[in-house]
Structure 1
């Protein structure tokens, strides 16, 4: 008898332990973050994030000398990047770390949807039976029209009764038909949702850590891993204040995360790693001296420097001056910005201010009359120290009014920016052909180039006129020119004039050009 009780007791204990183990396993599968692991520190990169978490892991014995702990990572995590360590030194040592992918369906939602479908089908059956009953009533009263009445009053009463009952039955039928249609649509929507839920499967990573050392019930673990579905982008605002001779620079970070879990009060950092460049230098290209090929479309009078300015910016470099609220940590190849404790809900994009600066700037209206009569507002900045601003999207503004957005980045101390067109400043170019004479087998052309500049605004401006310098690519063609007023900046390829213009002022620039070429040479008379 004693043996039977003991055996039965062992069987019951084993059965109870098996039930508990299965219950814990199901609980962990359904709630993989039940151990309470939440992000403690997050470093956001442009297209990923590094997560630092702490968790208190329960230890289970494995064999004689080892213990095991299990925790879970989200499906977007990269398990190869996982680094785990003990938060507190307790004598335990990590011997091994493995992981496997766990896939589950949302069975609770599936069962809920199935119950909803069952309830709706029951309601539909009730509606269908009501509609069938109403149709039967209508048929009955329609059949009564064939009944012959003995007297006229009986016929009138019968007709009135038939009309009222058919009308009532039809009205009820139409109402229930509408309700049935709504119910069928609802059933279809829930059925589609059920099919999608059945097809969807959530993925997690089950991580197993093996420990050696003294037996303990639990261990406090700290681990880092990289997570996809996260990132940040620089958002800049560059506001030109022409009268104050300064540019207001604002830098914000647009940050997002799609981990499926809200990050509450985490230590948030953003990192600006340098893009990876080529590992090895390129091969040298042979330097070959050869005769210049002639172009059928002669565009020699337009130099590369005479291209039309962009409507918003031509960025060469850019600057900064004022202190920023976030703490910048310099690294060898990138910068890290500590934003402090922040809350990031999943699936939302939030903006955080990084810095604000005021850049001293010199503004000038740049005009290239041979290309356009419009004046582009150009700002030149020169900072006291070099700065680095990563690639992002910038909104360019002038006196608080938005001009447009475009890609932007800046490194160095000096920068040139354009802020659209000044509608009050224009310059028009005119060619005044002069004389053509022949002398000693030579043909000589004399022509005048005139640029009329005007400022119709109510404020004085500084103007810079740029025109391509007349050049000859043939030793037989000789040319000379004289400018009035003289050019302001010496340049072998561009004629540059800079001057101040008062409000409402007009000004003209004259350039006399002399061209001498062989008599039989067919010159490109581009001025015509």
Structure 2
């Protein structure tokens, strides 16, 4: 008993202080870009000594790019002189452990089903052999055939059921094994010149695909307060198969590709200035420190990057001949250049969603369209339509605008100027009230509506036809 206790204590002590020679690190810092991530890990590994070589092993997760791996040794500063990389199966992630456990259960069940199937086949062979050479007359033959047939029917039915269940189980085993191969990572063997002792700490970083961030926006118009509430989130996901705990996260934009070689310099030549802008001067690199957080694998989390209140000048735009309603827009002037990469956005007016669409912005001034406001309505309808056979046929239209908001609004109404495709027919539109301004193609009204106020625009279009009778 004492020997067993001593042995168990030794095994636990060794496993606690001297783990397996390989190690799967835990990220301490991750820099996410829209196309991938740069992961920094710190790992304590056991040092191995064999055949005159000193080495330690680490594992990189699926999606890691070992071509751009950077390794640093921190304890006792042993000299690292080489490392090798090759694909390796890593069943030590949370998903890998669950898969291995499931595979173990399935293979146990597979063995039990195969044993059952072999037993059934033996019983079937036994009952098939009972009818051979053991019948003395027709009555014996009939009784034997009935008895043997009944047992064979039962056993063959059981055999088919077991075979079907075994087929499903083997298909599931094949699927899980293929999944495991797809999630293979990389084993990295780090070779050292001098002996650092039993263990050492490695710091290493590598690019990681399949893990990235994307922007998400929320813009809420508050026309009564003259403000836009702006929220900018980063949606982050990592697919390594391991949950990351207490990892420091940074988000950058745009994506920066790692380079192995220093590129050659191009000529620096001054040329006469022109009106076109230098794209390099306008390129903006964004970088946010999110802080430390828990990032589960195969799940997307959302972190807030920016929360701001933008002073805005709101107005409504309506084109009733195209669509009923009035669309709210907010004009914002920023004190400095702003850069917001493309991403999905939810638009709201006073807490009510009005649209969900892709949003992006670059510049110092912006006009943000929030969609149709249900409390401001603009529509047009036909009042009269005289027959085209009349000497001077005409149409009369009425545009009605209604403001149900508790504050004053500014509304711009746009209507196309009617035209004729026949040069002999003259089209004469008249408006009441007249447009605020008018071009060859467009009539525009600027209206101010108080709370609860309605306003109308009356349009009459007359067509003058040529005198066909010659009078």
Which residues of 2 match residues 413-492 of structure 1 at below 5 A?
413-422=364-373, 424-428=376-380, 452-455=399-402, 457=404, 459=406, 460-468=408-416, 485=433, 487-488=435-436
User: Residue 392 of structure 1: CA displacement?
Assistant: 0.8
Distance in 2 separating the partners of 1:40 and 1:71: 16
Q: 1:151-190 residue pairs with structure 2 within 5 A?
A: 183-190=162-169
Distance in 2 separating the partners of 1:495 and 1:386: 34
RMSD: 5.0
SS at match of 2:110: helix
Q: Counterpart in 2 of 1:192? A: 171
CA distance in 1, matches of 2:395, 2:254: 55
Report if aligned partners of 1:267, 1:340 keep a CA contact under 8 Å in 2: yes
Q: Distance in 1 between matches of 2:164 and 2:434?
A: 82
Distance 1:458 1:232, change over 3 A: closer
- Unaligned 5+ segments in structure 2 are 1-14, 92-98, 128-138, 140-149, 258-265, 268-282, 387-391, 421-425, 467-471
Q: 1:397 aligns with which of 321, 324, 348?
A: 348
Q: Distance in 1 between matches of 2:236 and 2:385?
A: 61
Q: Distance in 1 between matches of 2:152 and 2:310?
A: 76
- Say whether 1:408 aligns with 2:323: no
Question: Secondary structure of 1:465's match?
Answer: strand
1:219 maps to 200
Larger Rg, first or second structure (1 or 2): 1
Unaligned runs of at least 5 residues, structure 1: 1-26, 135-145, 147-169, 281-331, 435-444, 473-477, 520-528
Residue 394 of structure 1 deviates from its aligned partner by 0.7
Q: Secondary structure at 1:77's aligned position in 2?
A: coil
Q: Which residue of 2 aligns with 1:295?
A: none
Contact kept in structure 2, 1:458 and 1:504, CA below 8 Å: no
Distance 1:455 1:107 in 2: 66
Whether 2:449 is the aligned partner of 1:497: answer no
Alignment TM-score, normalising by the size of structure 1: 0.59
Number of residues of Structure 1 aligned to a counterpart in Structure 2: 393
Greater Cα shift, 450-459 or 235-244: 450-459
Aligned to 2:245: 264
Please report the TM-score for the alignment, with normalisation by the length of structure 2: 0.65
- Alignment partner, residue 311 of structure 2: 360
In 2, Cα distance between equivalents of 1:410 and 1:33: 51
1:349 corresponds to 2:300: yes
Is contact 1:365-1:377 (8 Å) kept? yes
Equivalent residues of 2:22, 2:57 under 8 A apart = no
Q: 2:43 aligns with which of 28, 47, 55?
A: 55
> How far has the Cα of 1:184 moved from its partner?
4.8
Q: What corresponds to 1:70 in structure 2?
A: 57
What are the superposed Cα offsets for residues 215-238 of structure 1, whole Å, 9 maximum, x if unpaired? 644332111001112122222222
8 Å CA contact retained: 1:431, 1:447: no
Flag the 1:221–1:481 CA change in 2: closer, same or farther, 3 A: same
Q: Is the 8 A contact 2:21 2:47 kept in 1?
A: no
| Structure 2: distance between partners of 1:74 and 1:91 | 26
State the SS of the aligned residue for 1:412: strand
Q: State the partner residue of 2:147.
A: none
CA contact (8 A) 2:24 2:59 kept: no
CA shift, 1:32, in A, is: 8.7
Q: Report the equivalent of 1:117.
A: 110
Note closer, same or farther for the CA distance 1:512–1:103 as it changes in structure 2 (3 Å cut). closer
2:83 aligns to what?
Answer: 97
Is the 2:320–2:379 Cα contact (8 Å) retained in structure 1?
Answer: yes
Which range is displaced more, 421-430 or 237-246? 421-430
